[in-house]
Each structure stands twice: as structure tokens, then as C-alpha cells.
């Protein structure tokens, strides 16, 4: 890009800050009108709740702000690249997206979209597309080269369906071809694809793998969403209500960058609701590999009540394996508190003697406000950002770095 083109991109930053979501809403409406086949690729639930539009607006803004040195965004590129690979996004999709994005800039900005500005954004988008598709090519190659790995969508059979609580059910997924399954890093997710008759669409959703790697199957633990029209529940509720043992679903290979660090540092796991699923895989793997290591491990979990608390018995078993595991549970509704069981929302200050440990690594998963609150607390207590890891379910909207 020329210096003049970089200046033109930078000049759009104030507009993107104020009208970015307006632009991305227009973009998605335009793209799905002209290329309705992409509705099978994108999560249409996130279109209903505007999460995808917001996430894209933030990504475009970040790219414009760092157009002089996009390498600053490499951690974000890695996160998005894993998400795209889990959805089987290919280079040809970038061409379609680019065409509609440039057209949307022209249509939304009107007279402000000069030929020079559109040319600058066309070049900028081309550079970003090359960066992203090149990174995703590497991810695909690593997948296919690993034992049991694959690219694209692969059929799996539901061998077991286990009720974990009033809201959560686990699905044990074995490859339909009888082959091995790729190992994964604890904390990663898989994409699952089903056909939704009510939308007449194939729809993908990401679910954290809730067990340690075993080479035989993947387990996902799915929360049933209240209400039949909840956008986040179109696939989750169908799994609960219609998918039975013996049914076939399609999966993409494990992906994700929210993974357990390989270190001897104390570990503190902090989860809200269904956010415990990737952390459970981390804890299982940690104790499976080094059960006798006297490493402090703290498990902090919050949910509404005992009836919706999944994996209570499994945590009891894991604590017997790892004697150094300390557990703290918070319920919104509890008749009587007891040792390590508290009434109310997760309050790290009340258990800070266990939570705040020298050199500890923190893993937080749950709704965005939950993550933000506990991240702020840990930073306020002097914990460095580098030791706090978090994952927000759905399109990323948090920037806490």
C-alpha cells in the first residue's frame, strides 16, 4: 500500500468507531441476499442476536487502526483463523466476502466513498485475506498430517447421551468410519453441523470438548436453552430433543487457542454455568498426566442452583485423584451454605487466599460480563495479563489485553 492509501484507511477509523455495526449489518444483508448459499456456512443465530455484526465491526476497526503494522494483530488472526478452519472457510469465500464488503462501504458511505478510498480498502482487504487464508492453510495442513486428523466435515455417531443436570446433556461422539480421532489440546472446541428443517439450512455450532484427549471419541456437553426461538439454542435444543443414540452428526476437527499451558505453575479455573466445559477437559488432562504432582489447583464455579450444576460427581472423583485440588462453588439459590459452598455470584475476594497464588495461571470461561468482572479483579490484585487466559463463547467482543 502507498502512504496515501494508508492515510485514507486511517481516516476511516472515526467513521468505523461510530458506524461500524451499521456497515457490517448492511454487509451481511447484502451478502446473504446475493449469496444465500453462505447461510449454510455462517451461524444464523449470531445474525439474529447481532453478535457476528459486532464482532466483524470490531475486527475491521482493529485492522484499520493497525494498517501500518498488521503483525500486531497476529494473536487475533490466530483466534479467527481457528474459528474459520472449524467452519471449513476456504479462499474462495474470501473473494465473495471482499466483493460485498467493498460494495457495502460504497453504499453506506455514499459520496464519502471516493474511488481512491474504495481502491485503498480493496488493497487492504486483499492483504488481510491473503494473511488469513495463508494462516488457515497452515492449520488445515497440520490437521491432515496428524494421526486421526481430517479436513472439512466428517460423520460421527452418537454412541452415548448422558444427562448431567437439569439443563446439560453430554454427547459421546465416535467416528462413523471406525478410525481414530485426532488428539486435541484441552480447552479446544469442535464444530458440529446439523440440518435445521425450520430454516431449511445446514447450521454449524462450536462446542468445547469436555473430556481429556483419548484417541477414541469426543465428548461435548450441551446446555439446553430456554424458549424455542432462542437464537443460541437452535442447534443445542435440537441435540437435546431430537438427536438420539445411533444418529449421525458432522464434525470438523478440533480448533481453538484457549488451551492449557504446559507448565508446573499453580492453576486456577474460574467458570460460570456451561463455561466449565473446556476447563473440565483441562483439569481431567492435567490430573491424567501428572496425578501425583503436588501442584496447587483451584476450581471455582458458579451457577444458579444444585439442579443445574453439571459434573458435581465428576469433580468429586477428580478431587480424589488430585488431592491438591480445592473447590469453591457458588449458587444463586441455596438453602444452606456449607464448607466451600456459597450463596450468590462468584466472589473471588471472599476466597482470595486460595485464588491469589504466586505465579498462578488463570483460566476463565463464561458469559462476557462474568469474564470481564473477574479479569478486572485479578488485574487489580496485581496479576499480569499474560497469566490470565479466557474464552468468550460465540463471536469475540471482549478486548481485555
Which residues on neighbouring strands pair with residue 196, listed in sequence order? Answer: 201
Rounded CA gap, 73 and 352, in Å? 34
Element (H, E) at 29: helix 13-34
Q: Which residues contact 274 (CB under 8 A, 6 or more apart)?
A: 168, 221, 222, 223, 310, 393
- CA–CA gap between residue 322 and residue 269 (Å, rounded): 14
**CA–CA separation, 54 vs 395, rounded Å?**
8
Catalytic residue among 63, 125, 136, 172: 136
- Whether residue 94 lies in the annotated active site: yes
SS3 category, 207: strand
CA distance 343 to 310: 17
377 labelled catalytic: no
Phi-psi map region of 197: left, alpha, beta (phi>0 left; psi -120 to 50 alpha): alpha
Catalytic residue among 28, 94, 172, 363: 94
Residue 184 CB burial class (10 angstroms; 0-12, 13-18, ≥19): buried
With a CB cutoff of 8 Å and minimum separation 6, the contacts of 5 are 116, 119, 120, 123, 124
Any idea which residues carry the catalytic annotation? 94, 136
Amino acid at each position: 500500500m502507498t502512504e496515501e492509501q494508508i492515510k485514507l484507511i486511517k481516516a476511516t477509523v472515526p467513521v468505523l468507531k461510530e458506524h461500524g455495526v451499521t456497515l457490517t449489518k448492511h454487509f451481511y444483508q447484502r451478502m446473504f441476499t446475493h449469496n444465500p448459499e453462505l447461510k449454510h456456512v455462517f451461524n444464523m443465530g449470531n445474525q439474529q442476536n447481532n453478535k457476528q455484526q459486532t464482532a466483524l465491526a470490531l475486527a475491521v476497526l482493529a485492522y484499520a487502526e493497525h494498517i501500518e503494522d498488521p503483525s500486531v494483530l497476529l494473536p487475533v488472526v490466530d483466534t479467527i483463523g481457528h474459528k474459520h478452519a472449524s467452519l471449513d472457510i476456504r479462499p474462495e469465500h474470501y473473494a465473495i466476502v471482499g466483493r460485498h464488503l467493498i460494495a457495502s462501504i460504497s453504499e453506506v458511505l455514499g459520496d464519502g466513498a471516493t474511488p481512491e478510498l474504495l481502491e485503498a480498502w480493496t488493497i487492504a482487504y486483499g492483504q488481510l485475506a491473503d494473511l488469513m487464508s495463508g494462516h488457515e492453510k497452515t492449520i488445515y495442513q497440520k490437521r491432515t498430517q496428524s494421526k486421526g486428523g481430517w479436513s472439512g466435515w466428517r460423520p460421527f455417531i452418537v454412541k452415548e447421551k448422558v444427562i448431567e443436570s437439569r439443563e446439560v446433556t453430554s454427547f459421546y461422539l465416535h467416528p462413523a468410519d471406525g478410525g481414530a480421532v485426532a488428539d486435541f489440546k484441552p480447552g479446544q472446541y469442535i464444530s458440529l453441523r446439523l440440518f435445521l428443517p425450520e430454516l431449511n439450512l445446514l447450521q454449524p455450532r462450536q462446542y468445547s470438548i469436555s473430556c481429556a484427549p483419548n484417541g477414541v471419541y469426543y465428548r461435548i456437553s450441551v446446555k439446553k436453552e430456554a424458549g424455542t426461538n432462542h437464537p443460541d439454542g437452535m442447534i443445542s435444543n435440537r441435540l437435546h430433543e431430537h438427536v438420539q443414540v445411533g444418529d449421525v452428526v458432522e464434525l470438523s476437527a478440533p480448533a481453538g487457542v484457549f488451551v492449557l499451558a504446559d507448565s508446573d505453575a499453580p492453576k486456577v479455573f474460574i467458570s460460570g454455568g456451561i463455561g466449565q466445559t473446556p476447563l473440565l477437559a483441562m483439569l481431567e488432562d492435567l490430573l491424567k498426566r501428572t496425578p501425583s504432582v503436588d501442584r496447587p489447583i483451584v476450581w471455582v464455579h458458579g451457577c444458579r442452583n444444585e439442579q443445574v450444576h453439571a459434573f458435581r460427581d465428576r469433580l468429586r472423583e477428580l478431587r480424589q485423584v488430585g488431592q491438591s485440588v480445592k473447590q469453591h462453588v457458588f449458587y444463586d439459590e441455596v438453602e444452606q451454605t456449607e464448607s466451600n459452598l456459597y450463596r450468590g455470584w462468584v466472589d473471588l475476594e471472599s476466597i482470595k487466599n486460595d485464588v491469589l497464588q504466586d505465579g498462578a495461571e488463570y483460566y476463565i470461561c463464561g458469559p462476557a460480563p462474568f469474564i470481564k468482572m473477574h479479569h478486572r479483579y485479578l488485574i487489580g490484585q496485581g496479576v499480569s495479563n499474560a497469566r490470565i487466559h479466557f474464552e468468550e463463547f460465540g463471536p469475540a467482543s471482549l478486548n481485555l489485553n
